[in-house]
Amino acid sequence: MSVNLSTREIEELLEGSDDRWLFEEARRVKAAVFGKDVYFRGVVEFSNYCAEDCYYCGLRAGNRNLYRYRLTKEEILETAEMGYLCGLKTIVLQSGDDHFYKKDDITFIIREILSRMDVVITLSLGERSLEEIKEWRKAGAERYLLKIETFNKALYEKYRPGRKLEERIRLLEYMKGVGYETGSGIIVGLPGQTVKDIAADLHRLSELELEMIAVGPFIPHPETPLGLESPGNPLLSLRCIAVLRILNPLANIPSTSALASFGMDFRAKGLEAGANVVMPSITPSKVRLFYKIYPGKNEGCMCVIEEMDYLKKMVENAGHRVSDSKGYSPRRFYAKGS
């Protein structure tokens, strides 16, 4: 079903050599696997503390002008329950790299959510120990999202000081090995990144055989070392989504909130480019504006019901259908031979 594209062919498509074929083929591939269905994932951004100092992220430890917050375990559970009552079948527990929450804390939250509601839990907690990752899988979490951001080793280690690209990749492979549906992704338009770099990134992401792949444009945050740089090109991000869909027919691919920072029509265009997932924030109103990875994050809607209604209308107006399923990647079942 998928088309085998070389890195050079990907590069040419990213440069706009044949947008008509690219987007039509991406739509064809998506329709063949997912039909008109779009999966919703409710994101609980329960802490904006972060021990890392990544140059592109507004949550970086070096940002002293950000109000920091942590939700209590009961607040996290109540937020997940609100999302479930709004019809969400996947709950994403997301935070900065915040080790305030210990292994047993996250285990408790996972088990409590699963005891109260019929959902799938995705974790997006950054780099944690192998013991923690394995324990949380045993507790019932089924998915883990860990972005790479760039496979260019020099850029990765420049923008993530003190971290090694190889360690991140090994962690992703470990997650796959213990049974998670595993996700990763890149930022498009990082300073110093070339189209050739991005083409290689898309090829490398596809080689990892991930169940989830995310791509979004770089948005400079004023409280970071990259704050004065130019933003990424949203059209280039749409082309990346289309290429990823063609190379990864069975993967879940979101139309990201970062795309929406360039206008909500770009989020709809992400669905037209081959994405099949939307991830509304269900973070409580009192703190949602402080989860500011980039300017504009969570500023469109101020409560869960408002955001859900808005995104459902966007999906339907784009000719798609909001799925009520848990939205597993078909790759999960093909890998088991079923």
Give the percent of the chain with pLDDT over 90: 90
Report whether pLDDT(2) > 90: no
Report DSSP letters for 156-198, one per residue.
HHHHSTT--HHHHHHHHHHHHHTT-EEEEEEEES-TT--HHHH
- pLDDT interval class at 334 (50, 70, 90): low
Q: How far is the CA of 146 from the CAs of 112, 202, 265, 315, in angstroms?
A: 23, 15, 27, 26
Asked if residue 336 belongs to a domain, the reply is no
Average pLDDT in the 311-333 region? 92
Give the percent of the chain with pLDDT over 70: 97
Asked if residue 333 belongs to a domain, the reply is no
Here the CATH number for the domain that contains residue 41 is: 3.20.20.70
Asked if residue 334 belongs to a domain, the reply is no
Report how far Cα 194 is from the mean position of its chain's Cα atoms: 22
pLDDT tens column, 66-103: 999 999 999 999 999 999 999 999 999 999 999 999 99
Structural domain including 257 reads 7-325
Asked if residue 2 belongs to a domain, the reply is no
Asked if residue 335 belongs to a domain, the reply is no
pLDDT tens column, 105-121: 999 999 999 999 999 99
Supply the mean pLDDT for the chain: 95
Query: By C-alpha distance, which of 263, 217, 266 is closest to 237?
Result: 217
Give the total number of structural domains in the chain: 1
Instruction: Judge contact between 258 and 294, C-beta under 8 A.
Output: yes
- pLDDT interval class at 337 (50, 70, 90): very low
Mean pLDDT is lowest, of 6-15, 154-163, 188-197, 327-336, for 327-336
10 Å Cβ neighbour count for 142? 21
- pLDDT interval class at 3 (50, 70, 90): confident
Handedness of CA 307, 257, 327, 166 (dihedral sign): negative
Provide the pLDDT for residue 243: 98
Q: Which residue has the tokens 């500011």?
A: 292
Asked if residue 169 belongs to a domain, the reply is yes
pLDDT tens column, 245-264: 999 999 999 999 899 888 77
Average pLDDT in the 58-68 region? 97
Please name the residue ranges forming H helices in the chain.
Answer: 7-14, 19-34, 73-85, 103-116, 130-139, 153-159, 165-177, 195-207, 234-247, 257-260, 264-272, 304-317, 330-335
Average pLDDT in the 305-315 region? 91
CA angle 225, 228, 234 (to 5 degrees): 105
Report whether pLDDT(13) > 90: yes
DSSP helix, strand, coil percent of the chain (3-state; round to 5): 45, 15, 45
Asked if residue 330 belongs to a domain, the reply is no
Query: By C-alpha distance, which of 266, 299, 267, 269 is closest to 281?
Result: 299
- pLDDT interval class at 338 (50, 70, 90): very low
Provide the pLDDT for residue 201: 97
- pLDDT interval class at 265 (50, 70, 90): confident
- pLDDT interval class at 183 (50, 70, 90): very high
Asked if residue 224 belongs to a domain, the reply is yes
Report whether pLDDT(104) > 50: yes
